Structure 1
Amino acid sequence: MKKSSPLLSTLWLASEKLCAMALVLLTTLILARHLGPDAFGQLNYLVAIVSLISPFAAMGLNAIVTRELVLKPEANDTILASALGLRLLGAAVASLVVFIAAPWFVEPGFRLAFSMLLIANLFTAFLLFDYWLQAHVANRYAAKARLGVLILLTITRLLAVYFDAQLQVFVWLAAAEIALTGLAFLLVYMLKGNGIAQLRFCATTAKSLLAQSWWLMLSGLAAIVYLKIDQVMLGQLSSHQQVGIYAVASRLSEVWYFFPVALVSSFFPKLLTSKTTCTDQYQQQLQQLNDALFVVALLLAIVVMFIAEPIIILLFGNSYQASAAVLSIHIWAGVFIFMRALLSKWLLAENLLRFSLITQIAGALLNIAANYWLIPIHGALGAAVATVLSYAAASYLALFLHAKTWPMAKIITASFLLPFRFALKGRTIYQKLEK
């Protein structure tokens, strides 16, 4: 298999992300208008439940598999087979548990369609081959696979809307997208790899991978709780209409989250170099990058807060007007999420990954508690407030709890005080000029 240059591989992924963002927004816009808040909320509620068990299909193996494949090319077939076996087992057990419990939280008329979502979840095990492609610097194949499935399902959904399809059809299409994405990666491996017949499961290798991955699985579970538990709890504690109102707002808010990841990833190698050569320069670069993330997120939050209502009504219609208030609150979570992108890299550079796990789990638990308290009172607005509070706690306040994370706490605090820093700096310059 021919490898791409790192730059070309990055360009493929960036192009795919931009195209996917546009297609997802288009689909969200059309489906929300077609289904209305209640049915659109029901769809997002069911998909969110399945999303919560996706970390059990990943088993925390993603980054570990990429590393092992790079370091042990002679054992690639054994590593892939062992990891694939673990992922299939995790997906199967999680899906079975949720299927048994489904009568308590899924309406009778949707249980068959929901069962298809759970079956489709098994195919996410094949996303393992995405990390095989990453190890071989062949991200163009992954981008083509994901984008091909997304384009196909976007067209199919638009046709379903044109023929006035009912909600169950769109649940089936959501299941089809999950399954086809997994099958697309399996097909890529069959065409570009050694073939399925060469894979050999090894219990010893599987045990070694699992020993390294369990805490990463917990971290992944905490991360997905951040993103999806609010919609599940809204469906349980409020109504599907509130889920629909919240889903529209959160989609528009979360669409910007790719930016801090891309920015920080671009500067991370430079930060690592500075860390080993000049500590003062390293701290200065951290502060400058965090300031930039804070300013972009702050300006974005302010602008969105003022234009939320006209944008929501223009794009989604009057039936989603309540989403404007939710969006005006939810967008402020981005201030902490943008800076969390740098915090995550800093924790990696400082070898504090266990603290990252602790903060994510604490944030997820706080999110659940805040949702449980606020949703019955304020509905979707309460869920948005819970999201902002949990991110603030996990990405900022928790840094004050341990001396090793105080340096980053100071950097984030300095970013919050950026207007005062500029004013003080301007005053100092003015005083020097007077002299």
Structure 2
Amino acid sequence: MKREFLANLLFLLFINLVIKPTYLFGVERVVQNVVTENLYGIYFSILNLTLILNIITDFGIQNYNTRYIAQHPHLLPKYFSAFLLTKGVLSLVYALVLLLVGLITGYLWEYPGILLGMTLCQVLNSMVMYLRSNIAGLGLYWIDSLVSVIDRLVVILFLGIPLWIGYYEERNFDIQWFVNVQLLGYAVGAIVSFAIVRYHAGPIVFRFNRLRILAIVKAGLPFTLTFILMSMYTRVDAPLMERMLVDGREQTNIYASAFRLLEASNVIGYLFASLLMPMYARLLKVGGDVKPLAHLGLQIIWSGAISLVVCTIVFRENIMTSLYTNGSIYSANILGWVIVSFIPVSGVYIFSTLLVAQGSLRELNRVYVWGVLLNLGLNLWLIPLHKALGAAEANCITQILIFAAQLYLCNKLMGVGITWIQAMKFVAMAILSVGVASLSWFYLMPTLNLWAFLVALAGCGIIAFVVRLINIREVLGLLKTF
């Protein structure tokens, strides 16, 4: 299982580290720079609102289905049509709820195109995620990897290239164009993923069975609560900021520019979770030991996370002023707080996935309830005091405490945690990485700029091998068996 995990992880990283960062920094960042600040802040607030409510269209089906199909792949043909019909019904409910919220908040009257467009985007995205859960559950990880980047690839081709060649330089860029191209990308992704699952599931016959739909919704309910709570403590800050502050739209825009780098980093964490969920589920079903797989995953992801976080903090001002026209020391400090949270967030991807695969949702949801209350309280306290910086501080504190609680649960319920040897290696890597990154910044900046950051990142990566967080012999041994 470790060999399978490593092989698919390398392929996933290659695909996603080419496409998704290109989208985030080559398209989304450029869009933010060419539209007015306030308008992008509105877009970011609406996006977070649609993501918070997106659980209605998913209702835990994705995680439940990934776990279920991974353990019983032969049942896909039997239940696929019922799950698909359930998704359609839930998507309709989601759209109606979001329109109601749009009426209450005023977004539907002020920005109907953005709200309606993002609603359809999330409906299609949720459908793609469900279809991908079937692909991953069948063990077709490399196909799932390719499907995962289709939507971003479409945006790059149809919007990114025109932006790069200066097509919009003499035109007032309308953010609605950005929404529409995203919608096209999700539609293409949905069509392709449906065709793949349809091939493996066989003929589809839709029969509206109310009891079966209710049974699916009931089965996904524990996963639903998990998703709702996670969305609330990770996405509530932007809408709060936009509504609480006089300059809320401007602050939301600044926060979004820093948060984008965390989103880019989270691509890696999500890849780990998407691979580990079906593997954990299969191991647990046959009574296998999940500890080696969890330890390997944590060591690999934290080797990258520590390197990235340390280098980003050291170079934070240079990063923000280089990427954004409104970059400043203030936005750089926000980035510093935001990026620190990537270390606990990446750990959450390892341990929360294990808790979900093991079925410990009640315990996990208790952690998230406290996380939501803590995050809401911190945001209400810190946003009026420090504005966007306060939201970043609240996010970081919340993520650290949630990771600590999940680590405690995994250790208590399954005996899976962080060993003292691992902990010492992580600390040693962090200390050495600070030294390497600082030396690179001091001697290579500002003449080399980007290269100074890349040199620092590479140096920190080498440290992971030096302190043996990543065992080169083990990696080479696994690769030789492919």
For normalisation by structure 1, the TM-score amounts to 0.79
Q: Does 1:224 align with 2:224?
A: no
Query: 1:35-75 CA deviation, whole Å, 9 max, x = no partner?
Result: 24322222222222111122221221123324544665665
Shift of 1:307: 0.6
Q: d(CA) in 1 for partners of 2:73 and 2:357?
A: 26
Q: Does 1:37 align with 2:37?
A: yes
Query: 1:231-262 CA deviation, whole Å, 9 max, x = no partner?
Result: 22222223122111111111113322344566
Shift of 1:90: 1.9
Task: Name the SS for the 1:256 alignment partner.
Answer: helix
Shift of 1:120: 3.8
Q: Percent identity over the alignment?
A: 17
Unaligned runs of 5+ in 1: 424-435
Match in the other structure for 2:110: 109
Q: d(CA) in 2 for partners of 1:123 and 1:46?
A: 17
Q: Does 1:130 align with 2:127?
A: no
Query: 1:94-152 CA deviation, whole Å, 9 max, x = no partner?
Result: 22112022133244331233123223433345322222222333344444444333222
What are the equivalent positions in structure 2 for 1:2-401 lying under 5 Å apart? 12-25=11-24, 26-69=26-69, 75-107=75-107, 108-127=109-128, 128-158=130-160, 159=162, 162-163=167-168, 164=171, 165-190=173-198, 193-196=201-204, 198-238=205-245, 239-259=248-268, 297-319=305-327, 322-344=330-352, 347=355, 352-396=360-404
Which amino acid in the other structure matches residue 152 of structure 1?
V
Which amino acid in the other structure matches residue 186 of structure 1?
F
Shift of 1:183: 3.5
Change (3 A) 1:183 1:388: same
Shift of 1:383: 0.8
Match in the other structure for 1:426: none
Contact 2:132 2:144 in 1 (8 A): yes
Task: Name the SS for the 2:60 alignment partner.
Answer: coil
Match in the other structure for 2:461: none
Shift of 1:21: 2.2
Task: Name the SS for the 2:383 alignment partner.
Answer: helix
Task: Name the SS for the 1:137 alignment partner.
Answer: coil
Once structures 1 and 2 are overlaid, which stretch shifts more, 97-106 or 322-331? 97-106
Change (3 A) 1:146 1:195: farther
Which amino acid in the other structure matches residue 127 of structure 2?
F
Q: d(CA) in 1 for partners of 2:421 and 2:70?
A: 39
Q: d(CA) in 2 for partners of 1:151 and 1:293?
A: 25
Q: d(CA) in 1 for partners of 2:407 and 2:73?
A: 39
Which amino acid in the other structure matches residue 94 of structure 2?
A
Q: How many residues align?
A: 413
Which amino acid in the other structure matches residue 13 of structure 2?
A
Q: d(CA) in 2 for partners of 1:218 and 1:369?
A: 20
Q: d(CA) in 1 for partners of 2:133 and 2:74?
A: 16
Which amino acid in the other structure matches residue 111 of structure 2?
F
Contact 1:69 1:79 in 2 (8 A): no
Shift of 1:308: 0.5
Change (3 A) 1:181 1:263: closer
Shift of 1:10: 5.3
Contact 1:336 1:392 in 2 (8 A): yes
For normalisation by structure 2, the TM-score amounts to 0.72
Shift of 1:382: 0.9
Shift of 1:225: 2.5
Change (3 A) 1:190 1:278: closer
Query: 1:252-281 CA deviation, whole Å, 9 max, x = no partner?
Result: 133223445666867987xx79xx8999xx
Change (3 A) 1:348 1:102: closer
Contact 1:53 1:95 in 2 (8 A): no
